[in-house]
Amino acid sequence: MTRRYFQEKLFDAEPGWLGPKYLKGFGAEPDCHSRWETIQQARNGGSMTPEIMTQLRRLSHSEKLTFHEQCEVVGVRWENNRWTVNCSGGETLFVDRIWLATGTKLDIAAEPMFKEMLETHPIEIVKGLPVLDKHLRWPGCELFLTGGLAALQVGPVARNLSGARMACDRIVPAIVKSSIALSPAIISQQSLVISE
C-alpha cells in the first residue's frame, strides 16, 4: 500500500548526494528553508529497489500479494483479531498483519522525548526539523542528533547509512576535541547522540 504509485529507484536520492557533487552547494546554502525544499525535491518520497519490486511483482502475479496504490491511510484499528485499515478514497481493507509502516513526518516539536529540551533549550525549527550547529549539536548543550532530524545539516541522505557515516564524521570531532566543545563546564559532562 502506498499513498501514490510505487517508485522503483536504486537510491533514496541521486548518488550525487553521497559526496561533494551536490553537498557542496547544499552546505553553502545559508537559508534552512531553502535547504528543506532541496531535501524534499531530492528525496521525492519513498522508493524500493528494482530487485524488491521484481519480487513483489512476482508475488502479485501469483496472487499472493495485492498492490494498493494511491491509498493514503486515514485510520487503523485492531478488532476481531485483524486490522481494519481505512483509506482516504473510502476503501476499507481487512488484514491479518501489517508488516511495515513507514512514511512518518518528522516534527521534533511533536516528539515527547524532546518536550523538556525544547522548554529548557529553545531551538529554531524549520518545517519540523531542528537547526543544529555544524557538529549536529543542539545549541546550548551537548546533545547530538543524527538521522532525519539532522537533515538540514547532513542533506537528503541523512536517513540512510551514508547519512549516518556523514553524521559520525561531524559528531566525533566535537566529542573528542575539547577545543570544539561547547564550554569548559560542559566538557566534563557526557554527551548524548540520538538517532531517529
Q: Is position 133 within any domain?
A: yes
- The answer to whether residues 151 and 190 belong to one domain is yes
- The answer to whether residues 120 and 90 belong to one domain is no
Q: What is the DSSP string of 53-75?
A: HHHHHHHHHTTS-----S--EEE
Q: What is the pLDDT of residues 45-57, one digit of tens each?
A: 777 889 999 999 9
Enclosing H/E stretch for 172: helix 161-176
Enclosing H/E stretch for 125: strand 125-126
Q: Is position 170 within any domain?
A: yes
Q: What whole-number distance in Å separates Cα of residue 84 and Cα of residue 175?
A: 47
Residue 183 has pLDDT above 60, yes or no: no
CA triplet 42, 48, 51: central angle to 5 degrees?
A: 130
Across all residues in the chain, what is the average pLDDT?
Answer: 87
- pTM listed for this prediction: 0.71
- The answer to whether residues 165 and 191 belong to one domain is yes
- The answer to whether residues 90 and 148 belong to one domain is no
